[in-house]
Structure 1
Amino acid sequence: MEEKEVKLGTKTKLLLGVQHVLAMFGATVLVPFLTGLNPSIALIAAGVGTLVFHFCTKGIVPVFLGSSFAFIGALTLVLREEGIAAIKGGVVAAGIIYIIMSILVKIFGVEKIKSFFPPIVTGPIIMVIGFRMSPVALSMAGYANGKFDLKSLIVASVVILSMITITLMKKSFLRLIPILVSVILGYAVSVMLGFVDFEPILNAKWIGLSHEAASDMFTMPKISLSAILAIAPIALVVFIEHIGDITTNGAVVGKDFFKNPGIHRTLMGDGLATIAAGFLGGPANTTYGENTGVLAVTKVYDPSVLRIAACYAIVLGLLGKFGVILQTIPQPVMGGVSIILFGMISSVGARTMVDSKLDFSNSRNLIIASLIFVFGIAIDNIIIWKTVSVSGLALAALVGVLCNKLLPKDRELMINKKLD
């Protein structure tokens, strides 16, 4: 049953837009921090991507797009090895994968495509994404050579404890912005401990991108096969996340977005938004679960509010001093956030398998999950031809999809019979 639409005044919409952008802000800028991309560009890319998404979906789906966590490992690796131009090419390729998936969904139906990515494949892959990034989180929190730096540990601990406290709060809007609040508290403690240098903030201009951000934005994408193979295949995993987000969003709003505008349109919107992000120099876009949380709390489902939030994100990204403030956030602050975040990503993967009630007494499921874990965690990247390499995550996803289709489903594998 559809929820009754509430007529909102312009001032109310503007205020609600602030609320939405706050809820999405922390997660959106966290991804560029962890990957080395520019947070101001990420905000602009999120805003532009959201507007593109709304255009593709006839302006009826109340969704905000932001930086996808699934791409963190691949983006970090490619940026370090090949630079921003290769990142742009890889993200654009990921957007093209989304568009291809939208066309396939339109032709064959969503269930047919989903059969290639069941929980036994997507669950372990999501877990691998979190596992692969865990050492980075501890390193940012000050852990090296078997011990923590004391000041870094204090900052990271404040962030972790504040996130835990906020998450456990009941009936509080703060529960929707735990990353933002914990980063602000961690930043304050960092100032007291002497981690923050205010000189770049004082020297920055009020309006306009920094020189580094402008350089990144106007760099042309480079077609690098190794970068494309590392980044683009991850879109196949996020495809399932997208379907789940749109399903949940529709359930909260009381509308069937699979019928109108259609999941093929939402995928197309996600793909074009990601392509736009790629050309701008931002991380790949995705639909945000935090967005659905805000809708559930406020009971306001007007898509125009999300478009206002998108405009706020673009404006924030163009404020020079604000961008420099983001860049002065110390690593231990983001390290504290990352410790919880990467653990939660892995936990979501485990929950995916638990919710689907997978039977791990069946050796078929054990083998698929085992292969994904080993290939995904143990291999950073593998050279397949000259300078062309594939990330361990992409290889694990390919192995999982193939095993799921090739191993028998209607009976136990021979290995089980031998064990009996």
Structure 2
Amino acid sequence: MKRLLRPLFGHVARRRWVHLILGGALAMPYFLVGTVIVGAVQGSEDVFTTFPLQLASFAVALPLAALTSPFPLTRPMSVAAVRALCGVDGDGLADGPARTRAAKGRCAAWFTLHLGLGGIVSGMTLSLPPFAAVLIVIPVFPGLRDMRRDLLQVLQEPWALALAPVAGAMMLVVLAACAAGCGALLARCAPALLGPGPEDRLAAAEARAADLAVRNRLARELHDSVGHALSAVTLQASAARRVLDSDPEFVREALAAIEDTTRRTVGELDAVLGVLRADDTPGKAPAPTLAADLDGLLRRTRASGAHITVGIEVDSESLPPMISREAYRIVQEGLSNALKHAGAGGQVPITVQLVAAEGQLEITVENPMEAAPAAPGARPGGGHGLRGIADRARLLGGITHAGPVDGVWRLSVRLPMKGPEGPEGREGPEGREGPEGSEGSV
């Protein structure tokens, strides 16, 4: 029995019934305006007591509701009510006001349908239960038959009086069935009328793409900053431990480099994580650039024992801030990649070249490819360093190549010093990472 009555009186049906009654409440102001219009046209003051005039007033009210539906809060409020009361999956509904003509038309259709069905069900809810209650109890209270003799003369017959409770109960069931059917109809129409249109899906896709771009940028910053710092600190500590007794001066330099590296990395980490804080408060440490910290980067890397040869044929002070910042990260990642293959002693020669030619900044980082034991801080299988470099270069309109060339591992990046040429940048055939590039990533 409960299974049969659940679709009519279950919690889903009850909540949808409440949603319909809310629609009837929203329809009431329009209905009152409709009674004024119908009364003025008919020249009658008995609109509220004449059923045909009430129907005419309701018919006038629905177009008035449709005309006011473009109000910006109509769709957000309707969607909130549907999600809370109709049991509709929220992912199938649009957020925010309707902006296009098609979306406004669908919203108007929903608003009119909700108020129309809500007004009908609300009227039935107000009128049928009292009448049904009278029918159910009238056999027990004969005084009710005397009071309603003018309306219930048929109940004076014994057979009609006996069937009155059944008729009253059936009225309540019919009312519940109408409410459940109208509620199910609204729940079925909600995704079509309140769901996202092409413009909403495009806006959501753009928002997701922007969020993904921010996440990828943060991941690159964390990888390049923290990854390089950990690799350098590990090699510096390893080198200092080996010469602790024989070369105290080198140990002091290594410890000073470790202190400087960790302090700067903590500041950069705070700046990156500041973007993720709830209050969106940016960190205090500015992003490093070639002009600000290239010498410090080279000094801290040399403290691990690496032999770095640098050739600079560009005025780093004249570079655009974005190019200078991304070029710094590319050099940093190139050094980290070389340190991975430094071996246990960390004694690897590294060549860094920065050249400005034909409006482009060419960055080259080379290190030998002789077989050597893995560095203490190296991670098995590599990481995502070269992929991050390729992403940075592509977003600036540059190209990247990484792989073995004449017995050395060469990372070559070219960046246009005027920024990207288009929203997606450009990438030549040699700029795509192949299997060689993946093997050398950190």
Q: TM-score range by the shorter chain?
A: under 0.3
Larger strand fraction of residues:
2
More helix by share: 1
- TM-score by length of structure 2 reads 0.19
- Normalized against structure 1, the TM-score is what? 0.20
